[in-house]
Structure 1
Amino acid sequence: MQPSEAISAEPVHHFARLLSNCIRTNDLKLGRLIHSRLIKTALTFNTFLANRLIYMYSKCCSIEYAQQAFNELSDKNAQSWNTMLSAYSQKGLFEKTFQLLDVMPDPNAVSYNSIISSLTHHGFPRKAMGFFKRMQTQRGNGFLIDEFTVVSVVNTCAGLGALNLLRELHGLATVIGVMFNLVVCNALIDAYGKCVKPGYSYSIFCQMRETDVFSWTSLLVAYIRASRMADACSLFDHMPIRNVVAWTALITGFAQNGEGDKALCTFKEMLEEGIVPRASTYVGVLSSCADIPLIEKGKQVHGHIFRCTCLIDLHNIFVVNALVDMYSKCGDMISAMRLFERLDGKDRVTWNSIINGFAQNGNGVMSLFMFEKMIETDTTPNHVTFLGVLSACSHCGLLPEGFQYLHSMERKYGIVPQLDHYAILIDLLGRKNMLGEAADLIKRAPWGRDNIGMWGALLGACRVHGNLKLARRVAEDLFELEPDNAARYIMLSNIYAAAGRWGDARTLRRYIYDRGLVKETAYSWIEINNIRHKFIAKDKSHSRLEEIKELLLKLVDPMKDAGYIFQIECSYFLVDDAFC
């Protein structure tokens, strides 16, 4: 039978329905049997069925068979080409995609939309934008930019953070008459949110003729990205439908903005509403427990996952990584290590969590050991990995090794050291009383001269080692960078007091008072039996104050025996903070 011969519509529709079922159920085995039957009945010459066959294979992740069906089709139409083009691009096979596009008789808007969308999805927004510009040059050849083009390129702009291009596209959507299309509006709300412009997102939301759950959720996330949590909460309260995505977004938003208590309360409300959490929900909640940190709450969440998710989420790598991170930050390295060892398919985040966990908890030797194990597994480290490695060196006093790791970052792994990496070595040099070397390193570090954290660490080291001369120079730099930070002036006054320079100390304290500078109140807290105890300097309101004072007095002798030296020589100024 030749392609031009007429074929009865009945078998065509029958096989089309069968192929649709294969696509819906992802049944490759049945699809292959249908393909065999089509070959025997010569129906592979039918362009409509051949196109469905190509599409079925692409959806069943069998690109080779899709390509075979495409090559066997002699009478290809635009849909044939676009289906194969989409199959390649969606799988990230862009070399084959571009080769096919070059030989395609008449590429159209569908062709370019597919490529732009796939490039953006696979993390190539700049290449996607290049294809959009190429598409625009073809508009004179009958190309029509439609709502699908707008949505694809809007997502590309969001990936690039290209606000000006996004505005231009917003205008183009208005010109071509798709501005009030629901999908276009939702994409614009989301894109402006990713560019941290929630005001624009809200403006579009207010102009929409109809909204759906995605509209509300996109605006919610836009507010959260801009740290406008009050607006996010207000919007959340007015949402007609609050699905698991919205709840998870709010929980994650609180966690990312340092409001862990609110994240935990929101999670509790979510469960009371009968909403079933996703893996991403647990990640947000565990992140809150890690950052506060609240190990008892974290254990409760861990137990909830164990009881309520049929163990599926306990094998989800994102959830396990969050659990390892939570236990590490809460100081329970035994539990963290137990989860780490049970996890198959560890990724870089898993290794980073355990390496940084040991470093943060003072076990530098184990942290460096885990780093070597990570390298043995051919897992590539990143800048977060080296924060843990350098912290481990600092805790162990391994100065030469610390500099070796710092130099290996760029030389061996192509990672440019950041200020945080230099800051750890500044701290290490400070501990070693190598203050001059620390000052030199700050000056050599990229943008180090303007880094408040590094100069602050060096000033603290000057106080510990009583280096008044360097302390004054460092403090002068800090006063220029932070003229209104009372803590820097107070630290220098304490250094003066420790050196017996009482007049200079009083002068500096008077300067603080005259300028009206106020030191931000610091506090410490501990959670015992799910009750949080908060302590502020000079606060006498705690119900068990006398017990605490009695215990502190009992600790004095053991602290002295352990080698701790009390800085009583400057105690007058250390306690005289009332007017600051």
Structure 2
Amino acid sequence: MFSSDIVPTIDRYVSLITRCVAKKHLKLGMTLHSHLIKTALAGDPFIANHLISMYSKCASIRSAHKAFHDLDTKNGCSWNTIISAYARIGDFKEALDLFDEMPQRALVSYNSLISGLSRHGFYVESLSIFMQMQDEYDCLFMDEFTFVGVVGACARLGALKFLRQVHGVAIIMGLEFTKITYNSLIDAYGKCGGADICRAVFDLMPEKDIVSWTSMLVAYTRAHNLDDACAIFNNMPAKNTVSWTALIAGFAQNGRGDEALDLFVQMHKEGLQPSPHTFVSVLCACADQALAERGKQIHGCIVRTCFNRDLDNIFIWNALIDMYCKCGDMRSAQVLFLRMPERDVVSWNSMITGFAQNGLGHESLVFLKRMLETNVRPNLVTFLGALSACSHTGLDVEALQIFNSMEKDYSLQPRSDHYAILVDLLGRKNRLEEAMELMESVSNKSDHVGMWGALLGACKVHGNLVIAQKSVDALLKLEPQNAARYVMLSSIYAATNRWDDSCGVRKQMEDRDLTKDVANSWIEVKNEMHKFPAKDRFHYQIGDIRKVVRKLACHMKEAGYVPEPNLRLIPEDDYDDCG
């Protein structure tokens, strides 16, 4: 390894170890370790610590542990290095065991555990280690790395109160606030819903970078304050793909998909290359508003502009499939699904739910079966889609089997949404008493609006006034200002010719100053979205629309569909009395 006339120094060995780490050359590192053992230098703590670090960074934790174990004289750096190694790979049992054996714990040891636990999703445990550290030092103690790790855990947990306490402790201690600490605070307050505090921290920053501006922008979008988000965006001294994507995602997530798409076009004109996250955001905007044509255009843009690496991005594939499903184009969704280089549970869920929402319940259940055959573990969303498929197809026996398998086969506790779909299915089958019994059997979930709403809808179809009244009473306790519940009960009374009761419910609405929100429908024609409020008479094409509606009515009659007189909602001669 070395020529005979060269006497290697410790620094030379350390330099070689560092190069092995940089190149991820484990085999060469092991050869070097063997040479060090022969020269008796492997027992030098300084070299041994670098060997432990090399093995851990080259994904050989067993060799790292052996190098640590063979070291006779372990210093604080030795302990910290091996603990960090286990924390990095998420083996917290071994990391904590070593931590407990450590003769004298240092701040860096705590930081390794706090950041490692947080990085692997153990946020509560991360904060617990932080509190343990305070108890051990018997004083307020942290540095910049501690602060960033703890603040990150608070952000993930939405622990605003604890976050403010940690922030206060840092100020009392006189912790030096750098760009990193400021940016972590802005991000955390934004995720915890504290946009106002977020802005106060942002304004205190002596020097802001693009991360600061973008984090502030995201905080406002999370708080549904798009005006201030736009103001931040417009005042940014420099914008990049991340900041554009953040604003696009904010509009998409707040139900303003048209503006999100306009921003995407503007970004393209600025000459910025969209990232996979950008495409996912605009595809979500298309999906939420069922903008099929715009979605296809985005799909074409992805094919034209993405590099091979991005074309394999599973998030883009899943967003495309979700978009086609929500736009009702199951054929395109299925073609994409079959072409995917790899699939995860989200891919399968999109197809299962997409088929269900488009009235193709049998196809949805076929995909569920295929998913289970490929050993992809289902989650709660999978079962929501499968139960919806059964509900839309009237497969009550299959639905109960699927529902029971959640806990029995996969240890998944059904949530209120799952019960609501089952209640809806039983209601469609006119098994209203069974639906009531099911709701009573899960008393901790009986305050779920969806369950009572599904039951009320079934009562309207089958004219069950007794259970309808119970449902409305429960719903009005949960949503006293929801006029739609009164309208539904009034309609049920009207459908059973109980006009006095129907008018009485409408009178209650007037007395409580409740009005039902105007219903709207949308349709996309040539990249333009047309919105139609109920009873709209002012659309510029209303004449043509009425002609088409009359033709449709004629076709319906020719096909054997006739109006059901019993479903009129109000007697013609009493129309004026009911307002």
Instruction: Determine the C-alpha separation between the residues in 1 that align with 2:330 and 2:384.
Output: 18
Instruction: Determine the C-alpha separation between the residues in 2 that align with 1:531 and 1:317.
Output: 30
Pairwise CA distance, 1:89: 0.8
Instruction: Determine the C-alpha separation between the residues in 1 that align with 2:288 and 2:79.
Output: 51
Q: Aligned to 1:534, what secondary structure does the other structure show?
A: strand
In structure 2, which of residues 94, 97, 103 is the aligned counterpart of residue 96 of structure 1? 94
Instruction: Determine the C-alpha separation between the residues in 2 that align with 1:577 and 1:384.
Output: 48
Q: How does 1:95-244 map to 2 (within 5 A)?
A: 95-139=93-137, 145-244=142-241
Instruction: Determine the C-alpha separation between the residues in 2 that align with 1:434 and 1:405.
Output: 18
Q: Does residue 1:437 correspond to 2:434, yes or no?
A: yes
Would the aligned equivalents of 1:419 and 1:446 in 2 still touch at CA under 8 Å? no
Would the aligned equivalents of 1:359 and 1:388 in 2 still touch at CA under 8 Å? yes
Would the aligned equivalents of 2:140 and 2:173 in 1 still touch at CA under 8 Å? no
Instruction: Determine the C-alpha separation between the residues in 2 that align with 1:26 and 1:238.
Output: 43
Would the aligned equivalents of 1:194 and 1:225 in 2 still touch at CA under 8 Å? yes
Pairwise CA distance, 1:356: 0.5
Q: Aligned to 2:255, what secondary structure does the other structure show?
A: coil
CA RMSD after TM alignment: 3.0
Structure 2 partner of 1:361: 358
Instruction: Determine the C-alpha separation between the residues in 2 that align with 1:253 and 1:577.
Output: 46
Structure 2 partner of 1:5: none
Q: Does residue 1:350 correspond to 2:347, yes or no?
A: yes
Would the aligned equivalents of 1:162 and 1:195 in 2 still touch at CA under 8 Å? yes
Q: For each residue in 1:78-103, what CA deviation from the matched residue of structure 2 results, as whole angstroms up to 9, or x when unmatched?
A: 22322222111111122221232233
Structure 2 partner of 1:3: none
Q: Which amino acid aligns with 1:228?
A: N
Structure 1 partner of 2:3: none
Instruction: Determine the C-alpha separation between the residues in 2 that align with 1:88 and 1:478.
Output: 52
Instruction: Determine the C-alpha separation between the residues in 2 that align with 1:458 and 1:562.
Output: 31
In structure 2, which of residues 537, 543, 547 is the aligned counterpart of residue 546 of structure 1? 543
Q: How does 1:514-529 map to 2 (within 5 A)?
A: 514-529=511-526
Q: Does residue 1:398 correspond to 2:380, yes or no?
A: no
**Structure 1 residues 87 and 445, CA gap change in structure 2 (3 angstroms):** same
Instruction: Determine the C-alpha separation between the residues in 1 that align with 2:402 and 2:190.
Output: 38
Instruction: Determine the C-alpha separation between the residues in 2 that align with 1:303 and 1:578.
Output: 57
Q: Which amino acid aligns with 2:283?
A: L
Instruction: Determine the C-alpha separation between the residues in 2 that align with 1:538 and 1:168.
Output: 54
Q: Which amino acid aligns with 1:70?
A: F
Instruction: Determine the C-alpha separation between the residues in 1 that align with 2:306 and 2:527.
Output: 25
Structure 2 partner of 1:263: 260
Pairwise CA distance, 1:31: 4.2
Q: For each residue in 1:140-168, what CA deviation from the matched residue of structure 2 results, as whole angstroms up to 9, or x when unmatched?
A: 6x995322222222222333333332222
Length, aligned pairs only: 572
Instruction: Determine the C-alpha separation between the residues in 2 that align with 1:21 and 1:202.
Output: 44
User: Mean Cα displacement is larger for which, 410-419 or 485-494?
Assistant: 485-494
Instruction: Determine the C-alpha separation between the residues in 1 that align with 2:156 and 2:576.
Output: 49
Could you list the runs of 5+ residues in structure 1 that have no partner in the other structure? 1-7
Pairwise CA distance, 1:11: 4.1
Pairwise CA distance, 1:361: 0.9
In structure 2, which of residues 529, 532, 539 is the aligned counterpart of residue 535 of structure 1? 532
In structure 1, which of residues 455, 478, 482 is the aligned counterpart of residue 479 of structure 2? 482
TM-score, normalised relative to structure 1: 0.89
Instruction: Determine the C-alpha separation between the residues in 1 that align with 2:216 and 2:107.
Output: 29
TM-score, normalised relative to structure 2: 0.89
Instruction: Determine the C-alpha separation between the residues in 1 that align with 2:467 and 2:69.
Output: 76
Instruction: Determine the C-alpha separation between the residues in 1 that align with 2:270 and 2:379.
Output: 40
Instruction: Determine the C-alpha separation between the residues in 1 that align with 2:493 and 2:550.
Output: 28
Q: Does residue 1:462 correspond to 2:459, yes or no?
A: yes
Q: Which amino acid aligns with 1:120?
A: S
Q: For each residue in 1:492-512, what CA deviation from the matched residue of structure 2 results, as whole angstroms up to 9, or x when unmatched?
A: 333333333344434443443
Q: Does residue 1:420 correspond to 2:408, yes or no?
A: no
**Structure 1 residues 578 and 406, CA gap change in structure 2 (3 angstroms):** farther
**Structure 1 residues 73 and 505, CA gap change in structure 2 (3 angstroms):** closer
Q: Which amino acid aligns with 2:518?
A: T
Q: How does 1:43-62 map to 2 (within 5 A)?
A: 43-62=41-60
Would the aligned equivalents of 1:359 and 1:389 in 2 still touch at CA under 8 Å? yes
Q: Which amino acid aligns with 1:78?
A: G
Structure 1 partner of 2:244: 247
Q: Aligned to 1:158, what secondary structure does the other structure show?
A: helix
